[in-house]
Amino acid sequence: MNRKFIATAVATVLFAGISSLCAYTADGQSKSFKLGQWTEIESSILKELNRSYVDSLPLDRIMRAGINAMLENLDPYTIYIPEEENEDLQMMLSKTYGGIGAIILKDKDANVVINEPYADSPAIKNGLRCGDEIILIDGKPTKGLTAQESSDRMKGKPGTTVNFKVLKGLTGDTVDVAIVRERIHIPDVEYVGMLDDTTGYISQSGFTDKVSEAVRAGYFELKEKGMKRLVLDLRGNGGGLMNEAIGIVSLFVPKGSTVVTSKGSTPESYREYRTTSEPVDTLIPLAIMVDSGSASSSEIVAGAIQDLDRGTIIGKRTFGKGLVQTVRPVVYNGQLKVTTAKYYTPSGRCVQAIDYSHRNEDGSVGQIPDSLTHEFRTAKGRIVRDGGGITPDVEIDAPSYSRLVYSLILNGIIDRYVINYAKRHETIAPADQFHLSDADFEDFTAFAKEQEFDYRSSAETLFDQMKKELDEDGLSERMSDEIAALEKAIKIDKEQFIRLKKDEIVPFLEEEIAVRYYCQGAGIQVRLRYDEQLEKALKAWK
């Protein structure tokens, strides 16, 4: 019997009855009694395994597997964070860490490569740019390190110094660089700008500490530029702190307005959250852009704005996460991020999906028939429904991309090309003027066709699956001529396919190149000129 099976079996024995801890059993036993019984069984099994198991017992691995198995039986968001991962928790909650402020690329048996330095970071202040290779970190060669080990060595307490030996991408010179680490904060407000003479635009990627202040500052910046209406883009925003969501809603609705209500399993968990500050503007036309990646706090904002009839929600239905998590300390300096309540919009809707199983491939809520949902009314009497996520007032499909484009991105082909581009071009035009030339695209095509990645079309992957099923059914031989003809018709070589999808690929290349020279905001500037969903939203928004 192998160790993996042993660990799984122990986890199953220890935690199979976890649901009984949440209520009194039929025979009147309290959950306290069941808890005591359960922990006694756990201790007994582990002691017996430790005494008699044939090999050395991997206790740390077994216990972590058991804890994870227990929590996975509750919901996807209740997780255990041991002491050694507390820094990752802080990064998740605040998007801050101590370091030099750069995204790195690390291939096996290669140096660390600076991929994307953050704006105003110590990396940029000390002359590091995309394409520079870090040969040594505090005297330790990076070729023998993993990506995680390299990242860990670069991070550290703000105010401390880390020493690099760097091979400069542009010149080929090798230089020594000493950088004093700083507290790096990755901003949630990625871009603030005007889409036209009257339409202001704020792109927000998260809900960490003080993001509502950043949105407030963005509002006043845009008002000075003549803004008459505002788009708050929450597409792909997975959420974060509830109080920041309340802070953003409070900018646009009267003081004292209900934003969200939380309800848990105890009377004490019921709480109504209202705006406590004076708004900056209760009249400006407001549009909230959402999609299936808009979750949690994004749904609090969208749900409140919709229920209070304060603005227009545009895009696709949101993710459907209506659960509140609270971080609780546990023994040995660990943390438990535990679901403590569900939240409800001002009309009384819970945006949590009815169950966790009927989900789309991206995890967002699947199709829920109206018969399983309930009607609610907005402040002005419009009908809205629960059942999972926030359904936009104006639904507009997001653009779809070919399998090739996803493969180029996920396999790092575009990233690697952009790094090579940065090594050969010291500067580019300003982001709002930069365009990839035909010669540059030919250069990319030549680069990409030499890379190893799955470039099959969606049709070809379906064809390959069909061939397997025909083999299993014993039909391949009798249909060999038809199969050969179809295969010839849908096969396309890598270079041809890349050229065919030029219009899809160029916007991604332009965005990523702009980011390497002018940081994240510049990439969004480029993205906006290709954003068909936003363009349609502006036309439909009344």
| Structure-block tokens of residue 309 | 């009839």
Cβ-contact 435, 510 below 8 angstroms: yes
Chain position carrying tokens 């991105």: 409
Residue whose C-alpha is closest to residue 31's, from 44, 19, 13: 19
CA distances from 26 to 23, 30, 31, 32, 265 (A): 9, 10, 11, 14, 19
What span, in angstroms and rounded, lies between the C-alpha atoms of 307 and 407? 40
Q: Is 321 a catalytic residue?
A: yes
Q: Check: CB of residue 299 under 8 Å from CB of residue 239.
A: yes
Q: Within its chain, how far is the Cα of 21 from the centroid?
A: 32
Handedness of CA 269, 270, 276, 280 (dihedral sign): positive
**Considering 132, 307, 415, 531, which one is annotated as catalytic?**
307
Report residue 257: phi and psi, to 5°: -75, 140
Q: Cα–Cα distance between 111 and 174 in angstroms, integer?
A: 13
Distance CA 209, CA 270 (A): 24
Q: Which run of H or E residues covers position 395?
A: strand 394-395
The Cβ of residue 334 has, within 10 Å, a number of other Cβ atoms equal to 17
Between the alpha carbon of residue 90 and those of residues 83, 189, 236, 486, the distances in Å are 12, 19, 21, 53
Distance CA 528, CA 534 (A): 8
Name the catalytic one among 95, 106, 321, 337.
321
CA dihedral 373, 377, 378, 382 (to 10 degrees): 90
Give the tokens for residue 111.
């140096």
164 burial (CB, 10 Å; 0-12 / 13-18 / 19+) is buried
φ/ψ of residue 321, rounded to 5: -120, 100
Task: Give the helix ranges, DSSP H, for 341-437.
Answer: 403-410, 413-424
Sheet strands (E) in 275-346: 286-290, 312-315, 323-330, 334-344
Active site residue 362: no
307 is catalytic: yes
Residue holding tokens 């419009």? Answer: 382
Which residues are bridge partners to 162 per DSSP?
A: 179
CA atoms within 13 A on the CB side of 148: 2
Closest CA to 65 of 124, 15, 105: 15
Query: How many other C-beta atoms are found inside a 10 Å radius of the C-beta of residue 29?
Result: 12
Q: Which of these is catalytic: 205, 257, 296, 347?
A: 296
Query: Which residues are part of the catalytic machinery?
Result: 296, 307, 321
